[in-house]
């Protein structure tokens, strides 16, 4: 979450920190995939890494179109971002019987919606509102992390 917010701020301010910040954010996706691989195998870990990397890269057209005020491009980019989020949710739901598809889809959809909310505020210079929305998004992701952890514990109780 912190690296996502830092990336949005770097993008909005045309900071030279943007590229290294994006690279650090992308490293998280590999780390998550590697963590999943310990439970579901290397292939599943790579598949999740690929989906999550796309998830991060799909944010760029959203930010670019929003900053340019290009409503058509923004709508298309947001639709693509939500589609990727659904792909991630479906992948996770297929891996663990304790991660229900509807719950995963709802969690991922909310994540995108909240990220768009604070990113829009950052792009619009509404930093206090962005911070407040970020706090809500971080709380949501903590709840999602709890849900994922509980599912892993239920599926692999001997590993915990």
pLDDT digit string (tens) for 96-130?
A: 999 999 999 999 999 999 999 999 999 999 999 99
Tell me if the pTM is above 0.85: yes
CA distance 88 to 73: 23
Measured in whole angstroms, the distance separating CA 84 from the mean position of its chain's CA atoms is 10
Task: Report yes or no: 134 and 118 within 8 Å, Cβ to Cβ.
Answer: yes
Task: Kindly state the average pLDDT of the residues 49-61.
Answer: 97
Closest-CA residue to 146 (of 78, 85, 99, 86): 99
Which residues constitute the domain of residue 149?
A: 2-159
The domain tally of the chain equals 1
Task: List, for residues 4-33, the tens digit of each pLDDT value.
Answer: 999 999 999 999 999 999 999 999 999 999
pLDDT at 8: 97
- Please report which confidence band the pLDDT of residue 72 belongs to, taking 50, 70 and 90 as the band edges: very high
The runs of H, that is alpha helices, within 41-126 are 42-57, 59-68, 71-95, 101-123
- 98-113 in b/e form (b: 16+ CB < 10 A) is ebeeebbbebbebbbe
Q: Is 70 within 8 Å of 127 (Cβ atoms)?
A: no
Question: Cα separation of 137 and 94, whole Å?
Answer: 25
C-alpha closest to that of 7 among 73, 70, 55 = 55
């Amino acid at each position: 979450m912190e690296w996502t917010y830092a990336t949005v701020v770097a993008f909005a301010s045309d900071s030279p920190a943007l590229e290294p910040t994006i690279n650090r954010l992308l490293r998280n996706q590999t780390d998550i995939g590697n963590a999943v691989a310990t439970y579901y195998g290397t292939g599943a870990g790579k598949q999740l890494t690929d989906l999550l990397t796309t998830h991060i890269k799909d944010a760029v057209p959203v930010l670019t179109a929003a900053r340019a005020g290009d409503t058509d491009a923004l709508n298309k980019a947001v639709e693509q971002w939500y589609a990727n989020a659904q792909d991630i949710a479906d992948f996770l739901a297929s891996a663990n019987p304790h991660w229900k598809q509807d719950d995963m889809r709802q969690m991922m959809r909310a994540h995108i919606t909240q990220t768009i909310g604070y990113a829009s505020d950052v792009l619009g210079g509404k930093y206090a509102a962005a911070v407040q929305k970020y706090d809500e998004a971080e709380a949501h992701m903590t709840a999602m992390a709890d849900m994922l952890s509980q599912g892993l514990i239920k599926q692999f109780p001997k590993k915990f």
